[in-house]
Structure 1
Amino acid sequence: MKIFNALYLMLLVGWLTTGCITEPEPQPQPDLAEEKGYATGVATDTKGNPLANAAIVVNNTQFFNHNILGSTNANGYYKLKLSPGSWYVRGTISLQHNDQSYTFDLHPETEGAFAGTEGAVRNLRWKLSGPKPTEFGGGGYYGGLVEVYGDMVGGFFDTEQVELTLEPVGPLVDGSTGQIIKRQLTGGIIGQTQDVPIGRYRISARYLPTNQVLNIRLRNKGQYSTSITNSFEPAYAGATGSYKLTLEARLQN
């Protein structure tokens, strides 16, 4: 009986302990050593966890469309054999969020080209915001762009005096909890704000000189309202890695 009770207590303690574990902590990634003739690295998500099935492209700096393709394994690791030449590494991750398909560029933690004969370690990380590298024809931001046109019929063009409020509706694209964003637009006739973490937002606007609430809508779509809820969409047909929301605003009658 004593043995039975002891076993029961051990099982109970084990069940309670495992039941308290909700999510494993991000594991530190191993330090990889350069290996001659290979590009190696680890891709991680926004929380530092391994990113499986990320697409890896090792680009030649001299010849267009002369690339080496691969992907990360379940541990976020990749290893690609190189030929002689000058190379750099880029990566992407594709997923669905709120019934919208997205492809995001991963951020290279080390920049610069390297010789294929020498090899290099190039780790990549998914970022929701921040500037993209400008090397090798790159640029822009990891977050999305919001554009605001003035209502042509109403004759409202002072979009630089508009402040947008973007309130996340549900989790952001990486599953994290977003923050309410308030930004004054820049850019002239077409107001804009850049580098907004991708997600679904409830958006409202006000005209700063008079503190007046504006009516807004998706550009050329639907009825004007004091707020709209929408997700980011491709910046143009077929675009990947570049997303925006395009709105119209007008003063209330």
Structure 2
Amino acid sequence: MYRTTRTMAALVLTALLGACGGTQAGSGGTPPSTPGTPQPGHATPYTMTGTVKNAAGQPIAGAEVWADNTLYYNMNALGTTDAQGRYTIALPRDQIGTWRAGGRVKTKYAGQWYDLSLVPDSGVAFATDAGAVRHFTLRISGERPDGGEYGGKLYPYFGGAGGDFDMDRVEFTLTPDGPLIDGSAGQVLKRHLDDTMVRDIPIGEYVVTARYVPDGGPARPMVLMGRDESAYSPSTTITFHDSPSYGLFADLTVSLAP
């Protein structure tokens, strides 16, 4: 399909996508062979093709990818990955301008939906008659090229029930509670605050514990309370919520243990 301010070429797009052989997620099939079908690793005129994988190299089915026209506002050629993470998009031959690759994947995890950006292996625009091969990776941690991180943020709030303490001296331990959002196995993380938050946590569900490590003194246990909890306990489980202001974040309250 194509979108042109969601009006232009709506009928043409359906035909074009039918010709491009874009396979739906989970079909497990190879896109139909048509004249000009791209060979792996080689660009074919009027076509964008490639794969979508997670950081471990595993294919992602059902991801939405697009070629975005750099001249016309909101004009996109769309495609969806198959069970092997492959896609093929036919580009309209009658449109001027160049194209840039983009993509996203929607997935339900820990009871809520996430809309995650895909990272193309090249951000260079390409001409319609040249075509392009663009491979995407789903990144759930690490630095973004335009600033910030792909991972989630944890905001701890001060709970003074157990006495005063320096939040910068709190050591948080995050233990993955099952696979992360991309299906990969997570690692146990030990983190301190960076400014007012724990930054760039790979997106997943975690059991969190904490201890207070004062400068020159013995470590002390801490208790935690999640956003939907009404009492402190030695641990709490967090998932990340999406906010227009904060991005993917989780929060909790922390206090010295009695």
Report the TM-score when normalising by structure 2: 0.71
Contact kept, 8 Å, 2:226 with 2:237, in 1: the verdict is no
| Residue matched to 2:11 | none
Residue 96 (str. 1) matches residue 101 (str. 2): no
CA distance in 1, matches of 2:235, 2:182: 25
Map Cα deviations across residues 134-179 of structure 1 (whole Å, 9 max, x no partner). 2xxxx43222111112237888573222211001122222333221
Paired residue secondary structure (1:223): coil
Map Cα deviations across residues 205-225 of structure 1 (whole Å, 9 max, x no partner). 222214222222224742222
| Residue matched to 1:38 | 47
Contact kept, 8 Å, 2:46 with 2:129, in 1: the verdict is yes
| Residue matched to 2:97 | 85
Deviation at 1:186, TM superposition (A): 1.3
Identity %: 36
Contact kept, 8 Å, 2:70 with 2:100, in 1: the verdict is yes
Contact kept, 8 Å, 1:149 with 1:219, in 2: the verdict is no
Where has structure 1 moved over 6 Å in runs of 4 or more?
152-155
CA distance in 2, matches of 1:159, 1:112: 44
Residue 60 (str. 1) matches residue 65 (str. 2): no
Map Cα deviations across residues 168-208 of structure 1 (whole Å, 9 max, x no partner). 12222233322110011111xxx312221222211012222
Residue 201 (str. 1) matches residue 209 (str. 2): no
| Residue matched to 1:50 | 59
Contact kept, 8 Å, 1:37 with 1:117, in 2: the verdict is yes
CA distance in 1, matches of 2:73, 2:230: 43
Amino acid at match of 2:174: L
Map Cα deviations across residues 83-133 of structure 1 (whole Å, 9 max, x no partner). 322321111122222222222222212232233343221101223322233
CA RMSD of aligned residues (A): 2.8
| Residue matched to 1:111 | 123
| Residue matched to 2:4 | none
CA distance in 2, matches of 1:172, 1:50: 15
Question: Unaligned 5+ residue runs, structure 2?
Answer: 1-38
Amino acid at match of 1:170: G
Q: Which of 228, 233, 237 does residue 229 from structure 1 map onto?
A: 237
Map Cα deviations across residues 10-32 of structure 1 (whole Å, 9 max, x no partner). xxxxxxxxxxxxxxxxxxxx742
Paired residue secondary structure (1:93): strand
Deviation at 1:247, TM superposition (A): 1.5
Which one has a bigger Cα radius of gyration? 1
Q: How many residues align?
A: 214
| Residue matched to 2:133 | 121
CA distance in 2, matches of 1:41, 1:48: 13
| Residue matched to 1:72 | 81
